[in-house]
Chain A
Amino acid sequence: MKPSKESIVTKIWNEEPEPDNPFAARACYCSGFDVYGDLLGKISWIQYLWLLIRLEPPEPAQARMLEALAVGLANPGPREPSVHAAMCAGVGGSTRASALIAALSVGAGNLGGARDVFAAMGNWADCGTDLAAWRERIRNPPVDERDDVWPSFEHPPGFDPNGAGCPTPVRQLLNHLTVLDPGPVLPWLQQNREVLQHEADAPLAFSGVAAAALHALGFTPEQGEMLFLLLRLPGAAAHALEQKMNWAKFPFFGNGLRLTDDPGPSSPDHE
Chain B
Amino acid sequence: MTPAHRVPIMSEDKGPEMLARCEDNWVTAMGAWFPEGRVVLRGKDVLNDLGHRPWMEYFIYGINGQEDSRFARFVEGVWALTTSYPDPRLWNNRVAALAGTTRSTGVLALAAGIAVSEASLYGLRPIRGALDFLYRADRKLADGAILEDVVWEELRTYRNVFGYGRPITSADERVAPLMKFADSLGMGKGKFIQLAFEVEKILKQSRLKYQMNIAGAVAGLVADEGRTPDDHYYMAALSFVAGMMPCYIDSLGKPGGSLFPLRVTRIDYKGAPPRRWGAA
State the A residues within 8 Å of B (CB).
1-6, 20-24, 77-79, 81-82, 84-85, 88-89, 91-95, 97-99, 101-102, 104-113, 115, 149-151, 153-155, 161-162, 245, 247-248, 251-254, 256-257, 268
Contacts and interface: CB of A to CB of B under 8 A. Distances in A.
Contacts of B92: 88, 92, 94
Contacts of A111: 101-103, 256-257
A117 to B, nearest CB: 13
Contact of A151 (B25, B103, B167): B103
Interface residues of B, number: 52
Given A79-B264, A85-B99, A94-B120, A149 B91 contact: no
Contacts of B83: none
Q: Which 6 residue pairs across A and B have the least CB separation, nearest first?
A: A93-B120, A109-B102, A105-B112, A109-B104, A92-B119, A98-B115
B266 interface: yes
A154 B95 contact: no
24 contacts: A1-B23, A20-B16, A23-B20, A81-B98, A81-B101, A81-B102, A81-B259, A85-B95, A85-B116, A88-B91, A88-B94, A89-B91, A92-B121, A94-B92, A101-B115, A102-B98, A105-B104, A105-B111, A108-B105, A111-B103, A151-B104, A155-B256, A248-B167, A256-B89
Contacts of B109: 105-106
Contact of A149 (B94, B106, B177): B106
B131 interface: no
A194 B109 CA distance: 34
B239 interface: no
Contacts, number: 176
A22 B20 contact: yes
A207 to B, nearest CB: 11
Interface string B173-189: 00001001000000000
Nearest to B23: A4
Contacts of A110: 102-104
Contact of A105 (B99, B117, B180): B99
A48 to B, nearest CB: 24
B30 interface: no
Given A21-B16, A101-B112, A252-B89, A268 B95 contact: no
Given A98-B112, A102-B115, A268-B177, A92 B103 contact: no
A242 B120 CA distance: 16
B89 A1 contact: no
B102 A106 contact: yes
Contacts of B20: 1, 22-23
Given A93-B121, A95-B115, A247-B121, 15 more contacts: A1-B21, A1-B23, A3-B24, A23-B16, A79-B262, A85-B98, A88-B91, A88-B94, A88-B95, A92-B91, A101-B112, A105-B109, A111-B257, A112-B257, A257-B88
Contacts of A257: 87-89
A113 B112 CA distance: 15
A257 B107 CA distance: 25
A88 B108 CA distance: 16
B141 interface: no
Nearest to B18: A23
B103, B123, B252: most-surrounded residue (chain A CB, <10 A): B103
A94 B116 contact: yes
B16, B19, B112: most-surrounded residue (chain A CB, <10 A): B112
